[in-house]
Amino acid sequence: MKPEPEDEPTQKLETKPRRLYQAWKGNNIFLCGGRLIFGPDAASLLLTTFLIISPTIIFCYQMKSKLHQSNTGQQHMHRAAVLIVIITTIMDMVFLFMTSARDPGIVPRNTRAPPEADDLLLGSSTPSMDWSGGTTPRMRFRRTKDAIVNGFTVKVKFCETCLRYRPPRSSHCSICNNCVHKFDHHCPWVGQCIGLRNYRYFFLFVATSTFLCIFVFVFAWLSVYSQMVDNGDSIWLALRKEAYSFALIIYTSIVVWFVGGLTVFHLYLIGTNQTTYENFRYRYDKNDNPYRKTLAENFAEVFLTKIPPPMNNFRSRVGEGALEAGFYTPYIGLGVTTPREKIDLDRENKEVLVGGMQIPTVLQNIDYGPFEDSSEDKDMNQGEKKVHFPSAWAQGNEGGGTSAAATTACNAETSEDDLNEIESRNTATTQTSAEANTEPLGQIDKMEGTLERKSQRSNTI
């Protein structure tokens, strides 16, 4: 029975591959089909917006109430002040949105180990093995490698979350769970990482906020001063009458220390071509900063250069389940197992006994090629020929000057009963080993023979 035409579009939508932002393993929040990218703490934008809009509304309300009480010159000044504050607030909100809603420079993730990470290091200094658990040593990629930047050698780290070596000046943000190019810091007030692609807008947001605070602070004091001059009041009485101005003075005097301090600090960072992360971690000075240029070039790099395109196209289609199968976060170490090192699961849980002893799992796949049977060992294992210790000792030492009397004495001390007991032990040991190894595992046969011969020698002695 043919499906109805209405079901065909539904089936096509179900088989349609997802977009990259839908399978992304970071902590970002995507809106508008992946066009807007926020951090996981984007809810803080509501608080930041409230702290910007509230004083603006209070200031505009106060200036409007004074229009009817002032002369023509003061009215023009009040209108200009209101216009400047509104324009500055709009610019501040635009810069805030441009900072928090765009890709800060997220570095693409790898679904598997990169080719340049083929040089592996053991997780410990010696190839020790966990005998009780039967596990092999864990392998790790080299954590750092050298890169040349402007004639300086800098170390780039391997990110075990993104499975790649980070580009220079990049760092992994634990909040967003992404590597960010030219990582500066994660700002909770904008709910986003600050990196290569939004640092310019972040600085403009902070600088605009500083200007807005200073402007409102100055005009609030002018209103208080005007009240003192017009009515001859004291400063305390004028502050009581100008309640809105007094509240704005307190608010802006507190906020300006934060945003103003950030503005000055980032002016210093821009002038020295540093990021906040580099300043606190490496403390570059003028001699060892590999990224520092002239003052004009440093400012031009931030404000006049073209912002590079994002390294991830979050609206692109990805194969169904491709990223889910490849992205993972090995925080401790990356276990690497080649096909030759894989042990069959059915065999892995079986106990292998040689000479009554349990062989660890990790030894079951070791190549014992170098431990070939010597000619003496082959002679000992041919048929049922048993060469006992006394006769072998006597034969081996005849050429070395051993007297016949000593040989006779040794044979006399070893009675026939003792020889039979030794032979019975050897036979029992051989039978035990044969029964325990009914299912030999490939190359383990050579190892069984070696351990069996050692057991026979120890029993004979």
Residues marked active site are found at 187
Q: Which residue has the tokens 């299912």?
A: 439
Calculate Rg over the CA atoms of the chain.
40
CB 92 within 8 A of CB 212: yes
84 CB-near residues (< 8 Å, 6+ apart) = 215
At position 357, the amino acid (one-letter code) is M
Query: Which residues, in sequence order, are bridge partners of residue 157?
Result: 144
Q: Compute the distance between CA of residue 272 and CA of residue 291 in angstroms, rounded to an integer.
A: 9
Helix (H, G, I), strand (E, B) or coil at 408: helix
Alpha-carbon distances, residue 39 vs 21, 52, 101, 187, 215 (angstroms): 13, 20, 8, 10, 31
How far, rounded to the nearest angstrom, does the alpha carbon of residue 278 sit from its chain's CA centroid? 18
Q: What share of the chain is helix, strand, coil (3-state, %, to 5)?
A: 50, 10, 40
For the chain, give the number of residues. 461
Q: Compute the distance between CA of residue 268 and CA of residue 271 in angstroms, rounded to an integer.
A: 5
CB 23 within 8 A of CB 318: yes
Backbone phi, psi, residue 188, to 5°:
-70, -20
Cα end-to-end distance, the chain, whole Å: 84
Its sign, for the CA torsion 22, 27, 31, 35, is negative
Helix (H, G, I), strand (E, B) or coil at 159: strand
CB 19 within 8 A of CB 31: no
Alpha-carbon distances, residue 141 vs 65, 126, 297 (angstroms): 68, 16, 37
Q: 110, 114, 31: which is closest to 314 by C-alpha?
A: 31
CB 19 within 8 A of CB 33: yes
Structure tokens at 265: 């600090």
